[in-house]
Each structure stands twice: as C-alpha cells, then as structure tokens.
Structure 1
C-alpha cells in the first residue's frame, strides 16, 4: 500500500526509552505513513542511530521514508524516571514546528497542517500536559500485551485488596478474582514480577502513568484482538476509543538478515532441529542461574543458536568467552543475531525466550513454540499467555531466582524439539501464526482497527 501524495495531518510520536518501546513505535510510524499521515518521532539520542538505520535502510520503509522524520531528544524518556523532562519535551516540539504558545492547528494554503494535530506517546511517557499545552489531543500507545495493560491499570485496586506488593500479600495462594477479562485463572504469585516489591516498588510509577493516561482521548494497543479477545473486550468497554493494531514489528534491515553468518549456518541443519535462545536487551540473571542454563543446554546435546548478551552484570568478558569455547562444538553463540530471520528459518524447532512482548509476537508470527523463562517486568504475563492460553509454550522458570536445574532445562529442550508435546505445541503455534497473519491483511481486525484510528484522529 503506497501512501497518497496529499497529506493533511502530522502526528508527533514519543516512544519511551528502550528498544522494546522504540521498535513498535517505528512500525506504528511506518503504518501511519502508508495511510497518508506524516509522523515526527521524538527519539532519545542514544537510540537515534538505530532508528535512522531502520528507517533509511530497511526496504519495508521505502514507500514511507519521506513521511517520517526523526528528531533527537537530549534527555532519556525513561519509564522509571520520576523527574521525566516533560517541559523539555514540550519545548522540543515547539522548536521543531516553530510554534508559539497559542498557535492553532491551521491548515496552510497547500493543505498541510503547520502544527501537529495529534500527540501519540508511550504510556510510560507522562506527557498529557504537553498535549494540553499545545491544544492537541493525545493518544496513549501501549506496547505490551493488553493483559498486562489491564493489570497495570488496576494497581490501585490490587493494592486496596492486599494483592500488591506480592511478597507481603496475605493472598499468595489465592486466585485474583477482582480483575475482569482474565484469559486464565491468575494467582497472586503470578501477578507481574515488577509488582513483587522486593527490591523496587514499581506501583507508584504505574499509578502515576495511568492517572496521566486517563485524560487521553484514545488508546493504541500492540496486540491482536483475536489472541486476547476477553481482555480486549473489557478494555474497549472501559476506555474511550481502544484500537488493537498489532503486531507492530518493524522490518529488519535486509542485508543484516540475509547475509548474516548464522543464517548460512542454519542452512546446513535439518528442519526443526535447532533451538534459538535470546533473552532480550535488558534481562539480568544471577551467575548460578546462568551456569545452570549453560549446563542444561550442554546436557541436552541439541544444536542451538544463542544471541548472548551480558545477562550476568558482574561477569567479565573472559567468562563469556569461556562459555563460547565450552559450547562451540554444539551450537553458535553470537553477540547479536537477526531474530526474525532466524525464527522464520526452517531449521528452527523452538525459541527459548525471556518472554518480552516483542519476542512473543515474533514467535507468533513465525509459528514457533517456546520455552519460557520470564525474568522481570510483565514478562510472566506473556509466559502465562503462551503456556496456559495459547498452548504454544512450556514454562522453564518464573523470575530470576526461581528453582531451576540442569536436568529440568535439558528435559524441556528435548521435549520441545523431539517430544510429542513439542509437536502438538508446534501445530498450535502454526495455527496462531495464521490468526495473526489474517489480522494484518486488508479486512483483518488489526488492519481495519488502524484504518479506524486514522479516520478518527487524522481524517482526510
């Protein structure tokens, strides 16, 4: 779908810090550009090179490139930063669009709006005041599962009922019955890991973000209605203008994927014989847990590709080099790998994941079953969906300090790649792939929801 030439609306898009927030924002911008909307993305300066590379070099942006503008922001828009520089953000937008305080969104003679007509911001960027000051509507962008959104929005209720913080809750062994639309029974001990409250209490920040978001005029959700039907229905009934438009996965830079040595290595492996392992960009594991993981992988004797980041903060480079040498005859350990291309490769039989939402969506899009070990944030909600709702995953661990062992990890790998349960999960994963693919096509739920969003906020 090529964008039309005449454009009447400019949207300012503000992602939060972190690639888990930036990547879906880039794809949102691409899809808006294909619908004749110009998009200015305010990008934290450390992420600017990655954003530029994707927009300028990825073939998927070819027809959208002229309609997307990247503007650096000097300060981090971090989700956990209590002194978030919203005043500075407002000033950046003013300077970029040369706005005076009371300038209205008046179309110029050529039909283009000289001021942004809409502000879309990540839920964790509390910038409703920016939208109010600029006299434009704001739409909240939620980049994770709607299940997680529903729970985050219910934090005040869960505090009042004693379910949060989890580590001091008197209801640990009980099912949480106060939350509507839960796809499976949810025990208190299975609430998002960020609300356990052991080292850090995330609750005040979550409350502040959702109070700020309550003044917004709409919600964009990076999910597919069919895969979260129950909780999407609840959110639609409670929130003004709710648009499930996922999966928002930006296209990879083509040469990174096709010419990567990992792809050539996979070409020589039998179908469904290789385990892909990746734990995201920010996961942290205790050393003893990491060592169990390595031992279990080694005991499985199964081929693998491991995109290994430094998940053990205290470990030196030599430690990671020794792990690479130890596993060299069994599989590949690399610093970075083109994840989407790997998951789509016919030799991949499973994905060992930290259950970040972007990785979860990529597994669904590829039809690949999963081994799930959630480490933090809301990742255990995604693990719950994969293991108990969709039936495409097996839980290996829950939290960084859970009880795992070498034998259990090896058995889980073997079961996924060679067992009957793994075959059944693979079949269900392929069925889910079809559901997600249909939602993205013209006439599908996500495609039409995006069209409805544009008609509502950016009418021609």
Structure 2
C-alpha cells in the first residue's frame, strides 16, 4: 500500500532549521515518513549535537544532506554568497536526490515541504506532479508583507528591487495597522546586506507562495488575528515547540551549556533577566559594553548567552566586569533556551525578537525587552510591543547607541509594571489552548497532516 513520504528542506540558518525540525517530528509522530534535507555544512553541525533520539519518531525520520555549492572553508556568514550558491547548485542536487530516493525505495517522495525561502523546491514539486507546501518560519505578518510586495511594485509604491519610493506608511489590508516601510524585512539587513540584495530572498519566497498547494505558518490565530483574517491562504499550525511535545529540542548548531539550569535553581521566582540575542546578532564593542553595563546597573540576577562570535572584537566586557557581577550573573556560550524560559526563576526575556524566540517567550508567559538586530525582528518587536503589549523597546541616543542607563530603566519598568506580566500570562493561555486538542492550530495541523497522507489513486 502506498504511504506518504515527505521531503522537508529548511533554509540553512539556525532560526529556520529549528522550527522545520520540530515540524518534521510532528509528522513522524503521526506515522509519516520524513526525509529531512540539510546542506552538508549544516548536517554536520546538527548531527554532532544530536544526543538523544525520539524513539519511534526516529524510525520515521531520516536525515540526509546535499551540497550548497560552496567550498568547505568559504564564509557561510556571508548570507548573500550562500543564497546565490544555493540558487545556482541546490535545485539540481535536490532533483538528483529525489530521483535517487524514488529509484532505490519502494516508498517514493509524495510531498515536499520547503522553507518559504527555498521556494524553488516547490516549483520542482509542481513540475514532477507531487504535493508542495511552503513552511513559513517568520511571523505571518512578515509573510504578508512579501505577498503584498508585488502589488506594491505594480502600483508604483516601490521599485522592482523592493525599495519604497517614498516614506508613506504601507497598508497590508483595511483591518491591519499600516507598516513603516523602513521596518520591512528586506529593508532591515543590519548593514549586512543592501536592501535590493535582500529582496532576492523575497522574490524566492513569492515564487514559493505561488507554487505551493498549501502555505503553513508557525503561528496561531490568537497571535496574529488581523493577519490571518486578511490573508486566509496562510494556515496557522503553531507554535510548534519541543516543550509543548515534552521532548528535547533538536536541530541546534551549538552545544548547550546546561550548567545554567542548576544556577537558575538557586534564584528566586520571577527574578532573573534571561538575555539572548539569537544565532546571528553581531554587536560592536560600544553597544556590547552598554548592554553589560545596563545589566550590571539593574542589580538583578541575569543569565546572558554570549556566543563566541557575537562581537567582532575579543573580550568586550568592561574591565573587572565579571568580578563585580560575581554569582549574580551567569554567562554561557549557548543555552537550552526552551528549558530556560520555562524555569520559574526567569522573570523577563531580553531578546533580539526572532520569531522562534518570540514564540518561546509567549508560551512561557514572559514579558519582553526588545533589541532587534535585523530582517523580520523589527516587525516582531512591533507585534510584541504594540499588538500583544507584552514588551518594551529601547530608545537610542544621538550616536545610535542604547545606553546602559536606558537598559536599566526599561528593566525596572518591565519588572514593576504589572500589566506586562498580566498580558503575557493571558496570551500564554490563549496560545497554549490553540495547540491542544480542539484548538485552532491543533485542528489546522491535523487537517494538514491528513492532506499529506491522502495518496492520489493514480
């Protein structure tokens, strides 16, 4: 009897691999055969950090890799170089992989679920006559701006490279608040990539939405009601988190330092500031120092994730910092974030506002302090602060720096104004209900898996 076999392909960044890996576990749990396709470079780091298996699910999920077209020593933090190489080489590599699977297996690939930024894979799915679904790791609101981009180009609001031709606010729909054009994902590359280059990602995403039979979003109707009402083609199936499955998160690029959990055990309830800026944020020396100073001035316990590559310079801590902080601060290179955020001692989350982190904070009822770095993180900050009203942003000084005093002030405000925690707990309850049996996301995911499992008679 024919059986569904889904090929899952993420974009090769930590924030994209993690949610698609979680989605794959949900498919495997329902008995769907999954082939998870990473680039060779990502496959190597992900598999090296796999320390536990998920029993029966592991039998259903097979992890494979294909080349990204770059040499082993090439700089994979040059995002446009990676992107261009992917477009040039990976479509052929993927086609060869599917042909190999179908030739050697009695269970051929019946569906491709691809990260929306790998939209070409969905064009390939349509070409060979199998099902295709676009998976959207960012917020649905971010995807909505991409869907609208072509219309804005056609209307002369922006040029063909996605650059707005004036500073007028952009309207996504009559029921959604207008968007500042400077906050569009491709306009916020953090100095890493010019906007017209970043817009290449959007073009691939648009290709994916057009080729896909389904567009699924790691969000819920409770989190972005206006967006899902205005863009019914987006199907909310989330948040999909390992913590909700009571399982270990897989797909990490860095080895986790679990010593921070025992440190958290020693802190008072709702007292700790958890500080983590994701896998891509880069600070200059001055801004890094100001964050450190702000945490010191707060006089509150904090757990801070400081990646080895977070700054361009070495050792950016102020002189004598770690001695002054002592045991009040815990600094690690990477943390088991979902476990940390669920810990009762954590009282707020200072975050870069990546969508994965935003979901993890929401499902643990935490208020946010928002320090976005690039791309969709600025829109996520708006969602957190203006829509959910569960967080605060920071104001920059005349030099464009967020000072230690500003950070101290906002820390004090987030801990003393009860409304932030109250709204965070209220939102947590609504979102967790959506992924439980009978909830909207639960039902959407169930229907989607049923669609995958329907094998065409021919």
Q: Does 2:223 match 1:248?
A: no
**Does the CA-based 8 Å contact 2:285-2:316 persist in structure 1?**
no
Question: Which 10-residue stretch deviates more, 183-192 or 290-299?
Answer: 183-192
**Does the CA-based 8 Å contact 1:374-1:397 persist in structure 2?**
no
- Give the match for residue 133 of structure 2: 139
Residues of 2 paired with 1:141 and 1:73: CA distance? 20
SS in 2 for 1:64: helix
CA deviation after TM superposition for structure 1 residue 451, in Å: 1.2
- Give the match for residue 228 of structure 1: 224
Q: Does 2:115 match 1:122?
A: yes
CA deviation after TM superposition for structure 1 residue 133, in Å: 4.3
- Give the match for residue 82 of structure 1: 84
**Does the CA-based 8 Å contact 1:304-1:332 persist in structure 2?**
yes
Residues of 2 paired with 1:163 and 1:428: CA distance? 37
- Give the match for residue 406 of structure 2: 408
Which whole-Å deviations, capped at 9, do the CAs of 1:335-384 have from their partners, x for residues lacking one?
11111111111111100000000000000111111000111011011111
Residues of 1 paired with 2:163 and 2:211: CA distance? 32
CA deviation after TM superposition for structure 1 residue 73, in Å: 1.8
SS in 1 for 2:303: strand
Q: Which residue of 217, 220, 226 maps to 2:213? A: 217
Residues of 2 paired with 1:195 and 1:334: CA distance? 28
Q: Which residue of 363, 366, 374 maps to 1:365? A: 363
Residues of 1 paired with 2:12 and 2:303: CA distance? 28
Q: Which runs of 4+ in 1 moved over 6 A?
A: 53-56, 76-79, 164-168, 256-259
User: Cα–Cα, structure 1 residues 412 and 17, in superposed 2: closer, same or farther, change >3 Å?
Assistant: same
The Cα RMSD (Å) is: 3.2
Residues of 1 paired with 2:292 and 2:267: CA distance? 21
SS in 2 for 1:337: coil
- Give the match for residue 29 of structure 2: 34
**Does the CA-based 8 Å contact 1:7-1:38 persist in structure 2?**
no
CA deviation after TM superposition for structure 1 residue 29, in Å: 0.9
- Give the match for residue 268 of structure 2: 270
Aligned residue-pair number: 430
- Give the match for residue 338 of structure 2: 340
- Give the match for residue 350 of structure 1: 348
Runs (5+) with no aligned partner, structure 1: 1-5, 100-111
Q: Does 2:43 match 1:45?
A: no
Q: Which residue of 173, 178, 200 maps to 1:204? A: 200
CA deviation after TM superposition for structure 1 residue 452, in Å: 0.9
Residues of 2 paired with 1:182 and 1:291: CA distance? 42
**Does the CA-based 8 Å contact 1:303-1:331 persist in structure 2?**
yes
Residues of 2 paired with 1:151 and 1:261: CA distance? 41
Q: Which residue of 28, 31, 56 maps to 1:63? A: 56
Which whole-Å deviations, capped at 9, do the CAs of 1:38-84 have from their partners, x for residues lacking one?
111111223325544676615xx333111111112222799741242
User: Cα–Cα, structure 1 residues 54 and 135, in superposed 2: closer, same or farther, change >3 Å?
Assistant: farther
CA deviation after TM superposition for structure 1 residue 310, in Å: 4.0
User: Cα–Cα, structure 1 residues 54 and 97, in superposed 2: closer, same or farther, change >3 Å?
Assistant: farther
Superposition pairs of residues 143-158 of structure 1, within 5 angstroms: 143-158=137-152
- Give the match for residue 436 of structure 1: 431
CA deviation after TM superposition for structure 1 residue 161, in Å: 4.2
Q: Which residue of 6, 12, 37 maps to 1:11? A: 6
Runs (5+) with no aligned partner, structure 2: 71-75
**Does the CA-based 8 Å contact 1:353-1:370 persist in structure 2?**
yes
- Give the match for residue 103 of structure 1: none
Which whole-Å deviations, capped at 9, do the CAs of 1:108-154 have from their partners, x for residues lacking one?
xxxx9621110111111122343244331211111111000001222
Q: TM-score, normalised by structure 1?
A: 0.84
Question: Which 10-residue stretch deviates more, 190-199 or 141-150?
Answer: 190-199
Residues of 2 paired with 1:50 and 1:247: CA distance? 25
Q: TM-score, normalised by structure 2?
A: 0.85
CA deviation after TM superposition for structure 1 residue 231, in Å: 0.8
**Does the CA-based 8 Å contact 2:123-2:207 persist in structure 1?**
no
- Give the match for residue 306 of structure 2: 308
Which whole-Å deviations, capped at 9, do the CAs of 1:161-216 have from their partners, x for residues lacking one?
445799985643x4323x11664343333333645796512123312331243122
**Does the CA-based 8 Å contact 2:116-2:204 persist in structure 1?**
no
User: Cα–Cα, structure 1 residues 170 and 141, in superposed 2: closer, same or farther, change >3 Å?
Assistant: closer
SS in 1 for 2:444: helix
Q: Does 2:100 match 1:95?
A: yes
Which whole-Å deviations, capped at 9, do the CAs of 1:290-333 have from their partners, x for residues lacking one?
12211212111111000111465421257699754554353111
